[in-house]
Amino acid sequence: MIKAPAEVIWSPQPNPAARLRLLCFPYAGSGASVFRSWDLGADIEVSAIQLPGREWRRDELPITRMDALVDDLLPVVSEWLDDPRPVLFFGYSMGAALSYALTTKLQQAGARLPGALFVAACRAPQLLAQNTSVGHLNDKDFTDVIRRFGGMPDTILAEPELLQLALPVLRADFEVLGTYQWQHHVPLNCPLTVYGGSEDPHATRTELAQWRGLTTSDFQLRIFSGGHFFINDARAQLLKTLAADIAPLSAISKKALPMH
């Protein structure tokens, strides 16, 4: 059964007067609430995807394959895109790969594309096949993998009951990445901006730069100080940079849309 957009796409601070909408895709193991306090100015309404198995969708089984995730989201996002305001996508880590895969599917379907795609902390998708699946690991070894990535609060890692609640979604998300098979597609027809951490061993500058061939439009690569989770360590700078990168698109929308 197709979910209603309100069940899957959450706007923590609805802003009907905003000229642009930013749809965010969270990193592995997380939910829409990681974007709850994002503020990019009055012109931009921030919304986020809620995947199955987490937060208010915790009673649903998490999905373990990228193509299944995309198929699950496609009708919901397509309906949500009916709003005439321009939409931008932002994806972090696994969310970056998912936002790219969804944008590719939208383009193949001849549907409306985001006005720009922003991806962060994720090597180019054609390199993701190099990831080794860790789904077969026992809880201790799998937790060690998660710990090396960083980003999960020590309070969860140190508390067995909390960890057991988090593991099914984490395992599912790592299975999504570990089984992802990139296929060559026509490059996207929208601007692409890539953000990375200077000390991120999971998405190096060289690996990030290989996103360049996936768009026929403008491309930018920006590096922040920090590791894989610079979304936390350099959050203020990330939001400032993202707002600045969106500003030219906001200016265009002011010319294209009537005043509210």
Tell me which of 47, 93, 250, 253 is the catalytic residue.
Answer: 93
Cβ atoms of residues 51 and 75 within 8 Å: no
Catalytic status, residue 93: yes
* Residues 6+ away with beta carbon under 8 Å from 62: 51, 52, 53, 54, 168, 169, 172, 173
Token code pair at residue 113: 């594309």
Token code pair at residue 102: 């969804």
Cβ atoms of residues 125 and 180 within 8 Å: yes
CB-CB neighbours of 190 under 10 Å? 19
Please state the φ and ψ torsions of residue 168, each to the nearest 5 degrees: -60, -40
Residues 22, 25, 26, 29, Cα dihedral to 10°: 160
The strand pair at 44-49 and 9-10 is best described as antiparallel
CA 135 to chain centre: 21
Residues marked as catalytic? 93
